[in-house]
Amino acid sequence: MFKKKNSDKHFFVEPDEIFLDSKNLQNFDRQQFEGRIEKSIPKKNILFLGILFLLFSVTFGSRLIYLQIQKGEAYLKRSENNILDKVIIFTERGIIYDRNNVKLAWNSRNSDVGRLNSGRPTSESENMPIRTYMSPGFSHVLGYVSYPAKDKDGNYWQTEFMGKDGLEKEYNDKIKGENGSKIIEINALKEINSENIINIPKRGNNLVTSIDSKIQKELFTLIKNLAENNNFTGGAGIIMDVRNGEILTSTSFPEYNSETLSLGEDISAINKYINDKRKFFMDRTVSGLYTPGSIVKPFFALGALTEGIIDQYKKILSTGSISIPNPYFKDQKTVFKDWRVNGWTDMREALAVSSDVYFYSIGGGYGDQRGLGITNIGKYASLFGIGEATGIDLPDEKKGTIPSPQWKIENFQGDPWRIGDTYHTAIGQYGFQVTPVEIVRAVAAIASYGKMLTPHFILNDKEKENKTSTVNLKKEYFDIVREGMRKAVTTGTATILNVPYVHVAVKTGTAELGVAKNKVNSWVMGFLPYEDPKYAFVIIMESGPSTGGANASSVMRGLLDWMYLNTPEYFD
């Protein structure tokens, strides 16, 4: 045991005491701190720690007083202006290509985007793609879009690009894609402090169309030039593959600018489209209803052969007109004129020279020649799809009209159907109306011996290709009509199309308009090559002068010459 002398500051330990402790050291449990002498914390350390804690408390408190009291109001406003905002990441619509992978409609990003997103952060403006279109000649088939739109508070009420016409509208669900989103932190200066993507946008699917953009451009230019130089109101043209219904070209003049309508900023141009009597917004290929004139004659020739009304060799004399008793004035005659004296004509010749007297006679009957009658005229027009929608994959397709007694009752009450109405219907006049797409499908059926196709714009669309029907008439009757149409090119009304590099079969038409009959629709329809048809075509020039040599056939001649030099593969 140690002996302590509290009164001494220093004390002496005897040697025996040291040896006594050393013997006991081995019995200490060092893990339990036995045998160790505790040493108290020095007061100067406690004082140092206390001062340190006091210094931290004073510093923190001073900063808290500065932020919460002196600067509290300023930082409150700043915190309120630092907001988190959910922002749309706009997807890109699918690209629309022609059959040769040339872009027809695509996406671009430029300074115009900012004008669509005023009041939003810069990164959002840069995020908005602009839809761009090939032009001219494609507006009606491609259509246009409306951009995402905001209300007066800057909130989007339309968050997607919406197709508004043409293929953009028809295939909107396929090509629109799916928007993404992100969270951004914005300060009071509208600057972005940070951003995090929540959903990645999914790009829309592409469309590969059956259109040949080079041919479409040229056809549009030819129609436009003829219309502007010869006072036609407008025009349209369509070419279709007679084997599967794919549309090679479809163009309509006049047309709007797709980008102008999409952006919606050029109010002056848009008002011009709206107020122009030429109907810029109408796609004449599918929505234009026109008096067909003589282009319906091949279908009634097939009907007359099938019904046994006339054989292919019987000739009818055309002296320039036929006359029948006037129902109102018994001492007078009602005269139905031919466009010229054609003399004795059989069916092939009547098709080639477009004899009205011949078709008056086989349509309504005259002298000893029986006629089909209005019921059969309607029957055979309907067999070839006239008066019904074709099912083409474009919006706003209209259906044509085949005049009939019931139709006249509905439109001209108290005025009965007369033989003269049948005569006029037999040559495509009176209340007859058709669309160009109806006619291209009908003439394709003549080229393919009765196969009725579904016109369509998507390359290799098997669903549309398999949607067909058949006009079950004798092949020999089709051959007679086809020979008459070929004769129109070699010696008849379409000799302008008698070119050496491809044989074409054609039927022309000149439909008189109005009471004064000083305006006409000029038509040409046909197929090529004659020996093994691959393509059917229709061109209409709308409401032009009844005099003059400019007509739809001259447009087709210009196109054939151009194709021979630039796309000869279509004539193989």
> What pLDDT score was predicted for residue 122?
42
Planar angle of CA 87, 180, 143, nearest 5 degrees: 100
Residue 130 has pLDDT above 60, yes or no: yes
- Residue 361 belongs to a domain: yes
Do 200 and 219 sit in the same domain of this protein? no
Do 180 and 227 sit in the same domain of this protein? no
What average pLDDT score do residues 87-108 get?
93
pLDDT tens digit sequence for 159-173 = 889 999 999 999 999
Do 393 and 335 sit in the same domain of this protein? yes
Q: Decide which of 186, 208, 230 is a domain's last residue.
A: 208
The secondary structure of 239-278 as a DSSP string is: EEETTT-BEEEEEEES---HHHHHH---HHHHHHHHH-TT
pLDDT tens digit sequence for 238-281 = 999 999 999 999 999 999 999 999 999 999 999 999 999 999 99
Q: Decide which of 144, 175, 208 is a domain's last residue.
A: 208
Do 165 and 249 sit in the same domain of this protein? no
Beta strand 130-133 pairing with 103-108: antiparallel
Separation of alpha carbons 130 and 133, rounded Å:
10
Do 179 and 287 sit in the same domain of this protein? no
Separation of alpha carbons 370 and 286, rounded Å:
36
Do 204 and 224 sit in the same domain of this protein? no
Q: Which domain holds residue 321?
A: 213-571
Instruction: Tell me how crowded residue 348 is: count the other CB atoms within 10 A of its CB.
Output: 21
- Residue 347 belongs to a domain: yes
> What pLDDT score was predicted for residue 117?
44
- Residue 66 belongs to a domain: no
Counted domains in the chain: 2
CATH of residue 390's domain is: 3.40.710.10
pLDDT tens digit sequence for 201-246 = 899 999 999 999 999 999 999 999 999 999 999 999 999 999 999 9
Structure pTM? 0.82
The secondary structure of 392-428 as a DSSP string is: -SSSS----B---HHHHHHHSTT----HHHHHHHHTT
